């Protein structure tokens, strides 16, 4: 039996629905180049609209330091509208007079996208005052951003304490799949973990090692483990301050009889740019500066 509320439990009609989504999508030349994340959240948004909710989209985009037009969600509004086949309004801020006015002008079934939450330092700090200002814009909170659910940020974790909260359909599907796999798995059980940083997933890695037989680590975070085991990773992203932590995790896995699988080869290039010449080499052949 699930221990979280879903849209089946929510009264949506005429309600202002703050929905946390992940719109951190790739953009080149002002155009979205991959709409996968937008397509995944579309069913939840459309369901909320069809049930008569006033749908207010919250998301971060990139890692801005203050207001940055190049990282404005305004760039994404046309792609969101195209995927949803519905009009999507845009507010120039996620709190304050612009956001308040945009929400006040909504009718049931409308959709508005608020500006990048990370334009405010209170987002990543989970600042109570910032949380309160976000919460004032909604009647209920729906979290459909599974990919950022590990972050204790204002629009992710903070709002869940201020408003009646529900899992969106994407979040629901992920949680139900995880529950099945972790509580009644078929063995041997393997987990694949990626992402950029080890630091944001330390708790997850330790928790998984207690449950799985094999832990497969990829993405940028694999570099930290490779470096911890003595491999060069060139100029790639690597958390060198966590090398000892990575070694501890490897040792813990060995002590528990768990297997950690890391990449055996890598795509290397002189620059991290589109269309740059690259080649595949063994991780043992990566130099200190490539």
- Tens digits of residue pLDDT in 200-220: 888 888 888 988 999 999 999
146 alpha carbon, distance to own chain's centre:
6
Residue 44: pLDDT above 50?
yes
Topology alike, domains 7-170 and 184-285: yes
Least confidently predicted of 95-99, 166-170, 192-196, 213-217: 192-196
Q: For residue 217, which phi and psi values (nearest 5 degrees)?
A: -110, 125
Which of 123-137, 174-188, 198-212 reaches the highest mean pLDDT?
123-137
- Per-residue pLDDT for 290 more than 70? no
For helices 243-255 and 221-228, what crossing angle results, to 10°? 80
Please report which confidence band the pLDDT of residue 1 belongs to, taking 50, 70 and 90 as the band edges. very low
Q: What CATH number does the domain located at 184-285 have?
A: 3.40.50.1260
State the Cα torsion 282-283-284-290 to the nearest 10°: 100
Per-residue pLDDT band at 182 (split at 50, 70, 90)? confident
Q: CATH for 7-170, among 3.50.50.60, 3.40.50.1260, 3.40.50.720, 3.40.50.880?
A: 3.40.50.1260
What are the domain boundaries of the chain? Answer: 7-170, 184-285
Q: Are 284 and 239 in contact (CB under 8 A)?
A: no
Q: How confident is the model over 100-113, as a mean pLDDT?
A: 98
């Amino acid at each position: 039996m699930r221990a979280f509320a879903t849209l089946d439990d929510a009264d949506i009609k005429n309600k202002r629905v703050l929905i946390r989504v992940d719109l951190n999508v790739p953009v080149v030349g002002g155009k979205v180049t991959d709409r996968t994340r937008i397509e995944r959240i579309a069913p939840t948004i459309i369901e909320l609209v069809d049930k008569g909710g006033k749908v207010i989209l919250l998301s971060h985009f990139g890692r801005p330091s203050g207001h940055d037009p190049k990282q404005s969600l305004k760039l994404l509004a046309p792609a969101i509208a195209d995927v949803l086949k519905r009009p999507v309004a845009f507010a120039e801020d996620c709190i304050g007079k612009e956001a308040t006015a945009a929400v006040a002008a909504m009718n049931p079934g409308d959709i508005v996208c608020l500006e990048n939450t990370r334009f405010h330092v209170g987002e990543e700090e989970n600042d109570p005052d910032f949380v309160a200002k976000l919460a004032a814009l909604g009647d209920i909170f729906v979290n459909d951003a599974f990919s950022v659910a590990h972050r204790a940020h204002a629009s992710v974790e903070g709002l869940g304490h201020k408003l009646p909260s529900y899992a969106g359909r994407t979040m629901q599907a992920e949680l139900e799949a995880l529950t099945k796999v972790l509580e009644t798995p078929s063995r041997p059980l393997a987990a694949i973990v990626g992402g950029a940083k080890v630091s944001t997933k330390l708790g997850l890695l330790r928790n998984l090692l207690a449950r799985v037989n094999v832990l497969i680590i990829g993405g940028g975070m694999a570099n930290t483990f490779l470096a911890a085991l003595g491999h060069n990773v060139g100029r790639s992203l690597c958390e060198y301050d966590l090398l000892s932590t990575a070694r501890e995790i490897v040792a813990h896995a060995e002590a528990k009889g768990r297997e950690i699988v890391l990449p055996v080869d890598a795509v290397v290039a002189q620059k991290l740019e589109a269309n740059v010449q690259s080649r595949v080499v063994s991780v043992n052949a990566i130099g200190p500066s490539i």
